[in-house]
């Protein structure tokens, strides 16, 4: 049986801060890399004020600095951004108001590859960003 988005979000594995093992995805071998958890991604997005946004590259850089790393793993970040977004969408579909869910659209825009994979599609992301003046 496949895990739900909530199950994926609640994965108990801790974050890691470790050297990048090989040159990959714009990171250089030996740089100190944050491998975030879904909860870290969620908490960071939740602190972005309404009407403000940032692109994924800036998001990753700020996350890295927060955890005293040089870079944040782009692969893990993308996976967890989707997990956070899908969980927020599930909560909204279950009756939570948009103001009560993680505002993932402050990091994802309709051109972000992750947004194209979301169950809501890119139109929802675009609509939310427009509503906040992003």
Look up residue 5 and give its two tokens.
Answer: 């988005």
* Residues in a beta bridge with 33: 18, 71
pLDDT at residue 51 in the model: 94
pTM of the model: 0.93
pLDDT one-digit tens code per residue, 53-110: 999 999 999 999 999 999 999 999 999 999 999 999 999 999 999 999 999 999 999 9
pLDDT at residue 132 in the model: 95
pLDDT one-digit tens code per residue, 26-38: 899 999 999 999 9
pLDDT at residue 78 in the model: 96
Please determine, for residue 25, whether its predicted confidence score (pLDDT) is greater than 90. Answer: no
Smallest CA-to-CA distance from 56 within 85, 18, 24 is with: 85
Smallest CA-to-CA distance from 69 within 36, 34, 40 is with: 34
Which residue carries 């009560």 as its tokens?
A: 100
Please determine, for residue 4, whether its predicted confidence score (pLDDT) is greater than 90. Answer: no
Residue 99 DSSP class: G
């Amino acid at each position: 049986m496949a895990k739900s988005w909530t199950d994926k979000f609640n994965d108990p594995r801790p974050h890691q801060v470790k050297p990048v093992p090989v040159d990959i995805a714009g990171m250089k071998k030996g740089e100190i890399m944050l491998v975030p958890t879904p909860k870290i991604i969620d908490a960071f997005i939740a602190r972005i004020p309404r009407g403000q946004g940032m692109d994924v590259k800036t998001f990753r850089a700020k996350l890295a600095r927060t955890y005293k790393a040089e870079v944040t793993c782009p692969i893990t970040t993308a996976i967890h951004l989707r997990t956070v977004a899908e969980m927020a969408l599930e909560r909204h579909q279950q009756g939570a108001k948009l103001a009560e869910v993680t505002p993932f659209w402050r990091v994802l825009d309709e051109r972000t590859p992750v947004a194209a994979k979301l169950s809501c599609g890119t139109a929802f992301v675009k609509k939310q960003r427009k509503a906040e003046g992003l």
